Amino acid sequence: MSDLPVTAEAAALARPSAAGNLFRHARYVLAGNPVTAFSFLLLLFLIACAAFGPSLVPYDPQVSNSLRTLQPPSAQHLFGTDQLGRDILSRVVVACRLDLGIAFFSVALVFAVGGLAGVAAGFFGGWTDRIVGRLADTIMAFPLFVLAMGVVAALGNTVTNIVIATAVVNFPLYARIARAEALVRRNAGYVQAARLTGNGELRILLSTILPNILPIMAVQMSLTMGYAILNAAGLSFIGLGVRPPTPEWGIMVAEGASFIVSGEWWVALFPGLALMLAVFCFNLLGDGLRDIVDPQRRT
């Protein structure tokens, strides 16, 4: 119980609208948390790379040049060149779109499917809960990366299937979080009130419960994005999913790994760094988002 004389009125005077309110709040959190601000900048940078990278890079990422193989970083090739003489900088930047794309679509897919299934399980209980719960348990019973490998191997070696595989392994996480949050809210006063005002159960689920757990799910999305990128890169690393010569961080690290012993460290290092940076960015972002949506911090 707050015993402070900070009345709601006083607080509300400074907050004209919902959107302005969220913006103000985000700015406050960012000001107090430079790490999150940094991760936001990093995200903007990554998005810019994904959007404009292919038209900005100095070299064609797919064209090999046998005269310039395995050159160390120089003014001409900032990240050096690989065993086929391709510019690593160009490849790293161009790969951004594919890696972020895979991660984004797989997270969006699992958010829609897993989130809805979880909310329904928590809200309706009974058989819905049992089916969703056992499905999640079954998926959890596998080593997740091995399961993802199996899915890609079974469905075929395409980018779409990497998206599906990554979504499948994340399903239990989303379903469980959504279920737990829906369970808490199932008998909240405002849900009962919605029943009284004539809302059917399905409408309550979609228009009352779901919007209230979206912020929590959004945090989870950011945290899972990093994992999804790693997963996609990992699958490519072992030869599933994206195929060479398509530039992709996982393949590039895999290709470069064999050159590390012979001293050509840059071939594996730069795509690895890019991968690390992206995962790092999404994890930091998730922490920051959690602070932004956490009502406890909205004083």
Partner 1 sequence: MSASPLLDVRELTVEFATRRGTVCAVERVDLSIAKGETLAVVGESGSGKSVTSYAVMRILDRAGRITGGSVTFSGMALQSLPEVEMRDLRGREISMIFQNPRAALNPIRQVGRQIEDVLLQHGQATRTDAKARAIAVLEAVRIARPEERYHAYPFQLSGGMCQRIVIALALACRPQLLIADEPTTGLDVTTQKSVMELVTELTRKRGMSTLLITHDLGLAASYCDRVVVMEKGRVVETAAAGAIFRAPSHPYTRRLMRATPRPGAGLRDLLPEGAAPFPAAPPTGAPLLKVEGLVKEYRREGGAGFMARLTGHAASQAPFRAVNGIGFEVRRGESVGLVGESGCGKSTTSMMVMRLLDSTAGHITFDGEDIGAIPAQRFAASPLRRRIQMVFQDPTDSLNPRHTAARAISDPIRRLGTLRGSALAARVEELATLVGLPLPLLDRFPHQLSGGQKARVGIARAIALNPDLVVLDEPTAALDVSVQAVVLNLLHELKLRLGMSYLFVSHDLNVVRLLCDRVIVMRAGRIVEEGPVETVLENPAADYTRELLAAIPHPPA
Instruction: Give the nearer residue to partner 1 in terms of CB position, either 4 or 261.
Output: 4
CA distance 141 to 129: 18
Does 138 interact with partner 1 (rule: CB under 8 A)? no
| Residue selected from 188, 238, 260, 277 as contacting partner 1 according to rule CB under 8 A | 188
Q: Tell me which residues in 200-219 interact with partner 1 (CB under 8 A).
A: 200-201, 208, 211-212
**In one letter, which amino acid is 119?**
V
Amino acid identity of 95? A
Contact status, residue 123 vs residue 186, Cβ threshold 8 Å: yes
66 binds partner 1 (CB under 8 A): no
Measured from the CB atom, is 22 or 140 closer to partner 1? 22
d(CA 220, CA 62) in angstroms, rounded, equals 35
Nearer to partner 1, 9 or 154 (CB): 9
The alpha helices in the chain, defined as continuous H runs, are: 8-13, 18-32, 34-56, 88-124, 126-140, 144-155, 159-185, 189-196, 201-204, 210-237, 249-260, 266-293
Tell me if 124 sits within 8 A of 185, measured CB to CB. Answer: no
| C-alpha 199, offset from chain centre | 34
Contact by Cβ (8 Å): 270, 88: yes
Using the rule CB under 8 A, give the single segment among 45-53, 85-93, 184-192, 222-230 that binds partner 1. Answer: 184-192
Judged by beta carbon, residue 52 or residue 190, the one nearer partner 1 is 190
If we measure between CA atoms, which residue out of 270, 289, 167, 154 comes closest to residue 220? 289
Q: Which of 196, 261, 263, 296 binds partner 1 (CB under 8 A)?
A: 196
Binding mask 5-44 for partner 1 (x = CB under 8 A): xxxxxxxx-xx-xx---------x----------------
CB of 197 to partner 1, least distance (A): 4
Residue type at 228?
A: A
The residue within the footprint of partner 1, chosen from 34, 156, 263, 295 (CB under 8 A), is: 295
With CB under 8 A as the contact rule, the residue among 153, 193, 238, 260 that binds partner 1 is: 193
Would you tell me which residues interact with partner 1 (CB under 8 A)? Answer: 1-12, 14-15, 17-18, 28, 188-190, 192-201, 208, 211-212, 295, 298-299
